Structure formats: C-alpha cells, structure tokens
Amino acid sequence: MVLTLAAIAARLHLRSGGLVGVVAALALAFQVGNAGAEGPQIANFTLPNGLEVVVIPDHRTPVVTHMIWYKVGSADETPGKSGLAHFLEHLMFKGTAKNPAGRFSQALATIGGQENAFTTADYTAYFQRIAKEYLPLVMEFEADRMTGLVLTDENVLPERDVVLEEFNMRVANSPDARIGEQVAAALYLNHPYGRPVIGWHQEIEKLNREDALAFYHRFYTPNNAVVVIAGDVTGDEVKALTEKTYGKVARVAEVAARVRPQEPIPVAVRQLTMADSRVAQPSLQRSYLVPSANTAKPGESEALEILAQVLGAGETSRLYRALVVEQRIATGAGGWYQGTALDETRFGVFASPLPGVTFATIETAIDGVIAEVAEHGVTAAEIERAKTRLIADAVYAEDNQATMARWYGAGLTSGGSVEQITTWPARVRAVTPQAVQSAARTWLDKRRSVTGYLVKELPANQEKRS
C-alpha cells in the first residue's frame, strides 16, 4: 500500500509543484520490492448511466475526500470561446432548482467540510473533504448539480467579472504567468494546449449564459465523469451510495471522442522575450514538446520522469549543481515534466541568472548539462536516487487522501486507467539508464523547444520600436 501511495504523491508533486523545488524528504532508504501489488484495495466500477467510480479505502481517520472529475478542460473548448471550461467551473456554484445558490457551500460550512474546484486543459474537478457520515449528503448535492444547474444573466454576468478580475490578478499582474502563457502559445502551433486555461482576455469578456449552458449540456453528463472517493469507506458502501444518488442522474449527452488537433513535427528553434517593469529578477524558461504518459511508447514517459528528477529536481540535480553551485551563474535552476496529459506535453528547464550574467551564458551552461546527459547518460546512483525520491516523497506528503484521489482523478481524465495508475511505480522502477539517456537525446532537441526570456526592459536591440 505504501508504494502506491508514494508514487501517487510523487506524481502529484510533479503536477502541482510546477516550477518550484522538491519536498525535502529524500534520503530515506526504501524497500521497494513487489509490495506495489499489495496496494490499497481499490474498487472501480461503472454505473448503468456511464458514471465511473473509484474508491480508495483509507481507514486511518473517519474522513472522506469526495471528488467528481469531468473529462473536459480548456483544450476541449470551441476556438474563440477560450476560458469557457474555467468559467463554467465558477458557475457550477450558482445553484439548481432544488438547491439554490449558496446552499451547498453553506451545508459544507455547517458540517465543517472543505471544498474546492479546479480546471486544467484536460479536466475540471470539484472536491469536498468531510466527516464520513456526510458523504451521502455531498453526493446528493453533486449529483443534483451535474445536470440541474440554473443559470440566469443575473448570476452569470457578475461571475464573468469575477473571472476577469481573477485574470487581472493571476495573469495580467503576474509577469511569470504571462511569460508562461506566451511560451505555451509559442510551443503549440496547432494543439489547443497553446490556449491559456483561463482564456484570452478578449474572449473571456464575451462569454455568456448561452455559451456556458451549451458547454454544460455537452460535457456535464454522468457518462463523462469520474467520481473518486478516498477515505474511511469500502467499495460496497460507496457502490450503494452512488447508486442511490448519482445513479438517478440520466445521461444528457453522448460524448464524442476527445480528438484534438495535434502538433506538426517541430522544426524551428524558438525564442521569445517579454519585458515587464515589475520584473525584479530576470529568468529563463524553456519548454520542449514531449510525449505524455498517454501518448508515449512503453517506458518513455517513465524515463522522462526520471530524467526530470536527475536534471532538475532540487539541489542535487544536475542543473542546480552546475549553474548554482559549480559555475555560480544562477540563483536557481531546475526542470520538470508534466507527464499527466491526454496529448503531447511539456518538459521544462528554467534558471535565473545572477546579476551581470547574460542569458547566453546561462543557456550555454544548460545546453552543456543536457548534452552531457544525452551523450554520456546518467549514473546508476542518480537513477536510484531519482526512483527512491519519486517513491519516497509521498510517504511524507501531508495529505495522502486528497493526493491519492487527485492522482486517480487526473489519470482517469487524461487517458489513463486504474491499472495504469497502480502499476506506475513498477514501471518507474524498471527504467534503465539507457532509457533515460535515450529520452534526453530524442526529446530534448532544441527544435522541439521555445525559450522564454523574462526581463525588466527589452535589450537595446529589441526596444519597443524597431
């Protein structure tokens, strides 16, 4: 059981950790063996209306994490309506005929529950953490709003202002977010992953009730959702509960296969420079177009996970050691891999130069580190350390229950299966040094990349005009 938990948290760390560092607990010597096969007794079934349910028993405390995941994200939006998936996530709190706006959240507050929601390119999810006796209540509420949402101009238009304000806070006023948006847009020439999850401002501004309802009726249906319950419950209990609640929700739509426009083979080395007077420290980030767990050949995504650890995770990583410790040219450096994605995904490296150090110097150093791995591979010790860390991290994760639920939810709405998720630790353990070297050689090809430079002012030869 521990192993699976560990792998889940490790995976999750990569996902949510994004550009920042790594949890400290590394050195733990961990018995890996075959224990993975003895992971939690996960129940997985599908109701007649098409709703998939995953139950991850965890009896340590009488608490339950309840999540519902819809297989729809910003990459499923109609072009020109960017931000709609995220906007609908906000609108899902506007109430139904049976439960007017506020009642669900108030009920949660009364019982001491927590709730949240999030949207990515591939999925939209809603979750609650509650004492176990309230699980039926929460399921009733979620089942009700799966198809019963009531939207009016009076509740839609003010929420659009809320989202626009969120855009201002999270994107417009954040140079880091803006350059991330620009790098993604430059990396994806054809695939909708190039579109920001929150949307383009001029398109968010025009979203309306009709757009939201059309999107809702197209994607919010039991046959396009996965309920994940982690906590002090059994599969049988949950089965009975879901049948009584979600089981009564009729399908409202047949959902088409999620076939998005794919990327052409990348051929151009791309760079972009963005200036913002609020930038205190210049930084560089590079994204490479690489396979995801869902598009990779067997073993390839796992090798990229290890490669990201060796190159970029924490202060023992090659990038950190070379740029920060040895060459003393950067204040920080690292790398990451976003494995969980339905379509071709990103492998990133990043660094912040010390004052007076040019981007050219930083890039030469980064390129040297990558070339070294591509040409000579990594050591067995580095790989072991990476594997141990990927597995060990989770043991110390603070919130395993939510972490596990998130991992299953994200995996199942990004092309994966329960079986693929539970066998992931074994597949990570099987990664060879050759596979890691091959991943670096094949995928960290600069023609597959966009490098973004974030600066306070454009250099003289890139001034505003001319």
Residue environment code for 8-40, b if the CB has 16+ CB neighbours within 10 A, otherwise e = bbbbbbbbebebeebbeebeeebebeeebeebb
Q: Looking at this protein, which amino acid is placed at residue 212?
A: A
Sign for the CA dihedral angle at 164, 175, 10, 378 comes to: positive
Q: Are 145 and 115 in contact (CB under 8 A)?
A: no
Show the CA angle centred on residue 441, arms to residues 437 and 446, nearest 5°. 145
CA–CA separation, 44 and 41 (whole Å):
10
Which residue is it, tokens 């054809």?
190
210, with CB counted inside 10 A (0-12, 13-18, 19+), is exposed
Q: Are 200 and 84 in contact (CB under 8 A)?
A: no
Q: Which of 203, 211, 300, 344 binds its own copies (CB under 8 A)?
A: 203
Q: Which residues contact 264 (CB under 8 A, 6 or more apart)?
A: 189, 190
Of 235 and 266, the one with the shorter C-beta distance to its own copies is: 266
CA–CA separation, 11 and 34 (whole Å):
19
Of 110 and 466, the one with the shorter C-beta distance to its own copies is: 466
Binding residue count for its own copies, defined by CB under 8 A: 52
Q: Which of 48, 79, 158, 356 binds its own copies (CB under 8 A)?
A: 79
Q: Which span sits near its own copies by CB under 8 A: 37-45, 131-139, 185-193, 420-428? A: 185-193
Nearest approach, Cβ of residue 202 and its own copies (Å): 6
Nearest approach, Cβ of residue 184 and its own copies (Å): 9
Of 33 and 80, the one with the shorter C-beta distance to its own copies is: 80
Q: Which span sits near its own copies by CB under 8 A: 120-128, 197-205, 308-316, 424-432? A: 197-205
Nearest approach, Cβ of residue 269 and its own copies (Å): 5
C-alpha radius of gyration, the chain, whole number? 23
Sign for the CA dihedral angle at 317, 322, 174, 24 comes to: positive
Q: Which span sits near its own copies by CB under 8 A: 290-298, 332-340, 395-403, 440-448? A: 440-448
First to last CA, the chain: 61
445 binds its own copies (CB under 8 A): yes
Nearest approach, Cβ of residue 22 and its own copies (Å): 23
447 binds its own copies (CB under 8 A): yes
Identify residues 331-370 at the interface with its own copies (CB under 8 A). 360, 363-364, 366-368, 370
Nearest approach, Cβ of residue 272 and its own copies (Å): 4
Of 130 and 284, the one with the shorter C-beta distance to its own copies is: 284
302, with CB counted inside 10 A (0-12, 13-18, 19+), is buried
* Strand ranges for 96-205 from DSSP E: 114-119, 124-131
Q: Are 431 and 306 in contact (CB under 8 A)?
A: yes
Nearest approach, Cβ of residue 177 and its own copies (Å): 12
CA–CA separation, 12 and 15 (whole Å):
5
194 binds its own copies (CB under 8 A): yes
Identify residues 373-402 at the interface with its own copies (CB under 8 A). 374
466 binds its own copies (CB under 8 A): yes
Q: Which of 201, 218, 258, 321 binds its own copies (CB under 8 A)?
A: 201
Of 88 and 366, the one with the shorter C-beta distance to its own copies is: 366
Identify residues 91-150 at the interface with its own copies (CB under 8 A). none
Annotation says 89 is catalytic = yes
Q: Are 260 and 191 in contact (CB under 8 A)?
A: yes
Nearest-10 crossing angle of helices 380-392, 2-17: 100
Q: Which of 186, 252, 253, 418 binds its own copies (CB under 8 A)?
A: 186
Identify residues 251-290 at the interface with its own copies (CB under 8 A). 259-262, 264, 267-274
Of 98 and 206, the one with the shorter C-beta distance to its own copies is: 206
Nearest approach, Cβ of residue 12 and its own copies (Å): 30
Nearest approach, Cβ of residue 441 and its own copies (Å): 6
461 binds its own copies (CB under 8 A): yes
Which entry of 89, 344, 363, 382 is annotated as an active-site residue?
89
Both tokens of 431, joined, read 């990664």
110, with CB counted inside 10 A (0-12, 13-18, 19+), is exposed
Q: Are strands 330-337 and 283-290 parallel, antiparallel or unpaired?
A: unpaired
Nearest approach, Cβ of residue 377 and its own copies (Å): 13
Of 168 and 190, the one with the shorter C-beta distance to its own copies is: 190
Show the CA angle centred on residue 444, arms to residues 439 and 445, nearest 5°. 120
192 binds its own copies (CB under 8 A): yes
Catalytic positions are 89
- Where do contacts with its own copies occur on this chain (CB under 8 A)? 79-80, 82, 178-179, 182, 185-186, 189-190, 192, 194-195, 200-203, 259-262, 264, 267-274, 360, 363-364, 366-368, 370-371, 374, 441, 444-447, 452, 458, 461-466
